[in-house]
Amino acid sequence: MQLQDLTESLHKHPFLSNMDDELLKTLTSCASNVVLPEGARLFGEGEDAKTFYLIRSGRVALEIQAGERGQIRIQTVGPGEVLGWSWLISPYRWHFDAYAVEQVHAFAIDATCLRTKCETDHHFGYEMLRRFSEVLERRLEATRLQLLDVYGSAATGGENY
């Protein structure tokens, strides 16, 4: 894919909607297109967070090794969403394992490249942080809702029923 085509494709991703053209060009210089087959392992817990992904199609599952409970699938990330934010926060290591549940088309963003751009261009860095903060806020809200276990019997109450 030509750089111009890649920029245009990136612009269509919801995470980058309405991003200034110049900033988008900066991001494009760190981006590439990837296709991951079903079952592909994208990254593993504890590994260096070298890349993050903007999912275009398909679905990625995040899993965690929970001792005796085994491998638990805690979340899926699908089209239009961002996969990974550990690249942004020191010590830049993944907290989960990630697998493609089905074939995935995504933009892969080189994290080292992007961190350097953020350091050298603070306007760009602020824009990335602003967009990631929104993602983090939504994920935190969703996690809290999951923790409530709203569909469980205890949450339902209804001893009178």
Partner 1 sequence: MIETTLENKTEIKSSMVPALATIRRAIWETDDTFTLLIDPPADGNAFAFKPGQFNMVYAFGVGESAISISSDPAKPNMLAHTIHRVGTVTSTLSKLKRGDMIGLRGPFGAGWPVEEAVGKDVCITAGGIGLAPLRPVIYSLVRQREKFGRIIILYGARSPLDLLYRVELEQWSKLPNTEVIVTVDRGDSSWKGHIGVVTNLFSYIKMDSRSTLVMVCGPEVMMKYTVEELQRRGLSQEQIYISMERNMKCGIGLCGHCQFGPKFICKDGPVFRLPEVHHLLDKKEI
Which residues contact partner 1 by CB under 8 A? 14, 59, 61, 63, 70-76, 78-81, 101-102, 141-142, 145-146, 148-153, 155-161
Quick one: 96 or 124, whose CB is closer to partner 1? 96
SS3 of 144, please? helix
Shortest reach from residue 81's CB to partner 1, in Å: 6
Shortest reach from residue 42's CB to partner 1, in Å: 15
Quick one: 81 or 124, whose CB is closer to partner 1? 81
Torsion of CA 149, 104, 126, 22, to 10 degrees: -150
Burial class (CB in 10 A: 0-12, 13-18, 19+), 140: exposed
Shortest reach from residue 114's CB to partner 1, in Å: 23
Quick one: 103 or 112, whose CB is closer to partner 1? 103
Asked whether the beta carbons of 94 and 44 are under 8 A apart, the reply is yes
Quick one: 5 or 141, whose CB is closer to partner 1? 141
Asked whether the beta carbons of 109 and 51 are under 8 A apart, the reply is yes
CB neighbours of 159 closer than 8 A, spacing ≥ 6? none
Shortest reach from residue 73's CB to partner 1, in Å: 5
